[in-house]
Structure 1
Amino acid sequence: MRLLVLGGTAWLGGEIVSAALQQGHDVVCMARGERPAPDGATLVAANRDDPESYSALGGTFDAAIDVTMVPAHAKGAVTALRHRVTDWALVSTCSVYAQEDMPGQDESAPLLAPYDGPFEAEKYGECKVACEQAVLAAYGDNALVARPGLITGPGDHSDRTGYWPLRFAHPVTDDGSVLVPDAPDTSVQLIDARDLARWLVVATERGTGGVFNTTTEHVPLSDYLALAREVAGYDGEVVAVDQQWITDHNIQPWAGERSLPLWLPQPEYAGFATRSVAAARAAGLETRPLEESIRDTLAWELRTGPGRPRRAGLSPTDERDLIAAARHDG
């Protein structure tokens, strides 16, 4: 198979290219050229802001996999390449859904209104809806739309899924305690980038079409934290704080500065990480044990340096102050 990967040099794109090369495919990456492509792939350096950029690609392709979140890029690519690429896959996101409080919803759940203007981070879900619409309109039954949940594994520079295993491996408080959310109703639903990449390549080989929630079965956040503690070999004290306490102390949910990664307030997000994955399982999605993803993510975190600037979580100073406040309040 001659495969075009639009992207292919960052985290997930690189995993897709590597998976395709392992399957013996001829892979061409189109990206800005700021990073090298994985060994064995051909890199075409181009800026997709220019509609003429696709002219740099030679020949035809059996399939393309696009990871873009920019509606103009998604639309421009399918417009320029519709008659040169047989099948098209788009990596979308479960953030396209309009309703976050209903557990167990499948791919038929209502979506956000599409936004096809310039990409805005706060409109991430809306931008992905517009990307989906462009691909589905151009390719119909030959389109594959993958809606992953939160992606984990080695290389997660968002710091959301590396935060907890690293924190348990390297506590930042003097006594080794770690602040955790007491959130019995919160779930997490993660997929390893390597598993997502492998499935995308296999599904593309098979000509699979349709829309799929490509993530794993959900597990309670408490179970995830317990597993992260076990993998990290942590036997210190966890200081658990409930949702009201978290809110009162201006700790952010999910990601970003001064946050508790993966935690989301309930019940308004009861459906965010509990989506049905039955369709993807039926289409051959296989995922590794969560413990393996945590272990490999921690190993990557330790290699890249525990002291690097973080994009999610609590700073050491914040955590020390918050633990002192929690003990005082308790």
Structure 2
Amino acid sequence: MKASIQFFHSLISSIIIVFFITVSGYGKTISSQRFSSDTLKIRVYLEGPLFDNGNALAMDGRPLMRDNLRSLPLNGQTLIPGKSPYTSIPFYAGNANRYGTVGTQYDLITDSTSVFSIQGQDAIVDWVFIEIRNQNNSGHVLATRSALLQRDGDVVDIDGTSPVYFPGLTATQAYVVVKHRNHLGVMSNVVNLNSLIDFTSGSLSVFDYGTSINPSYNFNGLAQNSNVKPGFRAMWAGDFDSNGKLKFGNPGDDMNQLLFGLLYYGSNAGLSTNFDSAYGYLPMDYDLNGKVKFDNPGDDKNMLFSQIIFYPLNGQLLENFGLIIEQVPTVTLR
């Protein structure tokens, strides 16, 4: 019988150690893998890039999101920035409260060429924002991180492959929140931070408001969209102003964000609503295909409209329905 221990350094080599122990003997080999207690394994889907994904599947049969922002179909251009939008101007300036940071962020990719050259199921879809909240107070944020989202839903660190590192995190149980710049965020109920936190699975317990917002509307089961891919859950798309609410009819609507964002797009000199060349890393890009459109076909306006009209609680099919909200408690302490 013999035993061997191998040490491997990951993204932040001076802090995170991943080790493998192999014990062999009597015709058997036993291997175990352990990550340091301050790294998290999270999985989540965004609704937008699950649309029109060509029925692409990961090796284990789970749906894959599109990575059009990593490689624009038009010309292969990478639109995803090398620095997190959640800590960057101009996006962060108007959303400082929603994306308030706690702790060291590690929000800059040091080798963008390498990270964005990864293809297949581990290709990068976009940035997401993670909050770890006190297990005894869901409004108390203990730590935050920007992180990268892969096509298969895995949330990884800025090297594009490692689990997300939270320096100094000592909690073993907590609420975990995932936010995105134009999707509604989602929060787990208290989970074990040493286990996979899989928001794509119906078996993960997530927070919702139930009937506490309005007794006439039961939000149970609506923290995420369960109708994009059968058997999986995804964060709701269409929050173009990142205010935690989806709305089509004014005032305060996302449709106007789309309209004026397109009209004043740099090369739309004629202020045309049917302008068809608005490419970029844009907040109004419902399906994250790297292009914004207002008039059909293939437009973001109709995708937003359908989201509102067919929302399960919008029984009267109102275009100005105003209760599609992010089901995450307000932050009270950072």
If the TM-score is normalised by the length of the shorter chain, which range does it land in?
under 0.3
More helix by share: 1
TM-score (norm 1): 0.25
Q: Which has the higher contact order (CA 8 A, sep 6+)?
A: 1
